[in-house]
């Protein structure tokens, strides 16, 4: 088994960037398969923080090919800005090491405009989107009116696609008493990036098929987390795409049986950005302390993350629907200074104990966590690179998480640095 698919097993922000960066050392190709520039990865190399939103984390390594798959909705302006920032950090981006799928859909400025208008109108019931137009762009794709990168090379087709988009969106904007879109403005936007972006556009299927035939290793990189999946997450407070490993197949064109080892990234506690249910959220000094120690601010938005204790029930829900083979446990070191550490092992709903995560929105609002309490280790785990470097109580905590999730920890991360990693089982070997 030579391929690995990486997904977040909570609400995103689990530390996928570091893990994908670490795994990409062994991969030949890294493919992003869903989401847009609403998701961010922060990786630390030589004490320098690098934030990525669209480009796969493998881009910072030499001789690796990074691919943005067809399942991603791409804002070309944001992508070019990211390329420029990486260039300033000394990372050269060329058509040789970065490729965009020709059938990936484009995010326009009007998608962002519509996103912001709709969120504002919802008031206190807002979803908590990043306002980057991800949802409206996915809606256009499903509604068969999206403009894809392949459309940019044919003016006749492009004109038809733009007219189709205008016919739909101007009706909505008129109903919202907002300024209508013009064909000229959309053409001007396209022309501002068309020449620069097209050099990265390519047919992806032959590249991945050739890699398979040559025995190359492919790393499939997901965005957000399973609990934000549009079908299996905390609906309606979810993203607009499927975040399950199966989306790596639809989002790249690779058969599902070739996705390889499924690695779920799990934070040693729980965080969430935006609105929606969060059973173990701590709105007290402990929650504040978790956020401060863990530097819990969104990579893309800078918004403060909501923090709480580890929730084994909701995480096990992710494990079950995703078919995760093993987990990478991150940010264990954030818990080093806590005298007591709690794990949610069940819920109370209508005065009854349940051991599953309900899918009903009203039930998700009303569940209360049932905790078991663990003694904190009160020693540093930061920088540990072997099990023998860890305090006994920290190991006990990790083993309890494995027991509750019924899944082995394959990788343990003890700091943002790529080298501070304990490898238990190499996912590329399976």
For residue 241, give the DSSP letter. S
The token pair that represents 209 in the structure block: 């098929």
Q: Which of 135, 110, 117, 133 is nearest to 185 (CA)?
A: 110
For residue 177, give the DSSP letter. T
Distance CA 87, CA 352 (A): 56
Q: Annotated catalytic, 41?
A: yes
Give the other-Cβ count within 10 Å of 167's Cβ: 10
The token pair that represents 18 in the structure block: 């570091």
Distance CA 35, CA 58 (A): 17
Q: Annotated catalytic, 389?
A: no
Distance CA 184, CA 426 (A): 52
The token pair that represents 262 in the structure block: 């499924």
Share of the chain residues as helix, strand and coil, in percent rounded to the nearest 5: 35, 20, 40
The Cα angle at residue 128 between residues 122 and 134, in degrees rounded to 5: 100
Q: Give the three-class secondary structure for 193.
A: helix
Residue whose pair of structure tokens reads 């990693």 in the numeric block = 421
Catalytic residue among 13, 140, 151, 229: 13
The contacts of residue 140 (CB under 8 Å, 6+ apart) are 105, 111, 146, 165, 168
Q: What is the DSSP string of 200-220?
A: TEE--HHHHHHHHHTT--EEE
Residue whose pair of structure tokens reads 């966590």 in the numeric block = 369
Distance CA 158, CA 171 (A): 20
For residues 196-221, one letter each, b for 16 or more C-beta atoms within 10 angstroms of the residue's C-beta and e for the rest, the string is ebbebbbebeebbeebeeeebbbbbb
Q: Which of 142, 114, 117, 138 is nearest to 239 (CA)?
A: 138
**Peptide bond between residue 236 and the one before it cis (omega within 30 degrees of 0):** yes
Catalytic residue among 21, 41, 229, 333: 41
The token pair that represents 285 in the structure block: 């000094």
Which residues are part of the catalytic machinery? Answer: 13, 41
């Amino acid at each position: 088994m030579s391929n690995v698919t990486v997904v977040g097993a909570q609400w995103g922000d689990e530390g996928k960037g570091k893990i994908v960066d670490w795994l990409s050392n062994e991969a030949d190709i890294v493919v992003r398969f869903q989401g847009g520039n609403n998701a961010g990865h922060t990786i630390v190399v030589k004490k320098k923080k690098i934030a990525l939103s669209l480009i796969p984390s493998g881009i910072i390594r030499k001789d690796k090919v990074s691919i943005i798959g067809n399942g991603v909705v791409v804002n070309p302006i944001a992508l070019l800005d990211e390329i420029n920032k990486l260039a300033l950090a000394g990372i050269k981006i060329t058509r040789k090491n970065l490729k965009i799928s020709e059938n990936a859909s484009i995010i326009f400025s009007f998608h962002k405009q519509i996103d912001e208008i709709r969120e504002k109108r919802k008031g206190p019931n807002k979803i908590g989107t990043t306002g980057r137009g991800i949802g409206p762009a996915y809606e256009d794709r499903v509604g068969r009116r999206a403009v894809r990168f392949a459309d940019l090379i044919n003016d006749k087709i492009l004109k038809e696609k733009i007219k189709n988009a205008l016919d739909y969106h101007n009706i909505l904007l008129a109903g919202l008493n907002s300024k209508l879109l013009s064909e000229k403005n959309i053409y001007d936007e396209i022309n501002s990036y068309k020449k620069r972006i097209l050099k990265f556009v390519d047919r992806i299927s032959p590249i991945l098929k050739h890699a398979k035939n040559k025995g190359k290793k492919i790393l499939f990189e997901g965005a957000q987390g399973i609990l934000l999946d549009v079908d299996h997450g905390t609906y309606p407070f979810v993203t607009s795409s499927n975040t399950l490993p199966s989306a790596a197949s639809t989002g790249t064109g690779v058969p599902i049986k070739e996705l390889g080892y499924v690695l779920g990234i799990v934070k040693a506690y729980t965080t969430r950005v935006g609105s929606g249910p969060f059973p173990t959220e701590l709105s007290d000094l402990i929650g504040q302390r978790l956020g401060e120690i863990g530097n819990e601010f969104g990579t893309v938005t800078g918004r403060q993350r909501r923090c709480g204790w580890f929730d084994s029930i909701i995480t096990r829900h992710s494990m079950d629907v995703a078919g995760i083979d093993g987990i990478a446990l991150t940010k264990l070191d954030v818990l080093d200074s806590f005298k007591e550490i709690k794990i949610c092992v069940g819920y109370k709903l209508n005065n009854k104990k349940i051991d599953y995560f309900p899918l009903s929105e009203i039930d998700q609002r009303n569940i209360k966590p049932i905790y078991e309490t663990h003694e904190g280790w009160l020693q540093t785990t930061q920088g540990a690179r072997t099990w023998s470097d860890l305090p006994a109580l920290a190991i006990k905590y990790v083993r309890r998480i494995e027991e509750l999730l019924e899944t082995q920890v394959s990788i343990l991360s003890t700091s943002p640095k790529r080298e501070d990693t304990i490898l238990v089982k190499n996912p590329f070997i399976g």
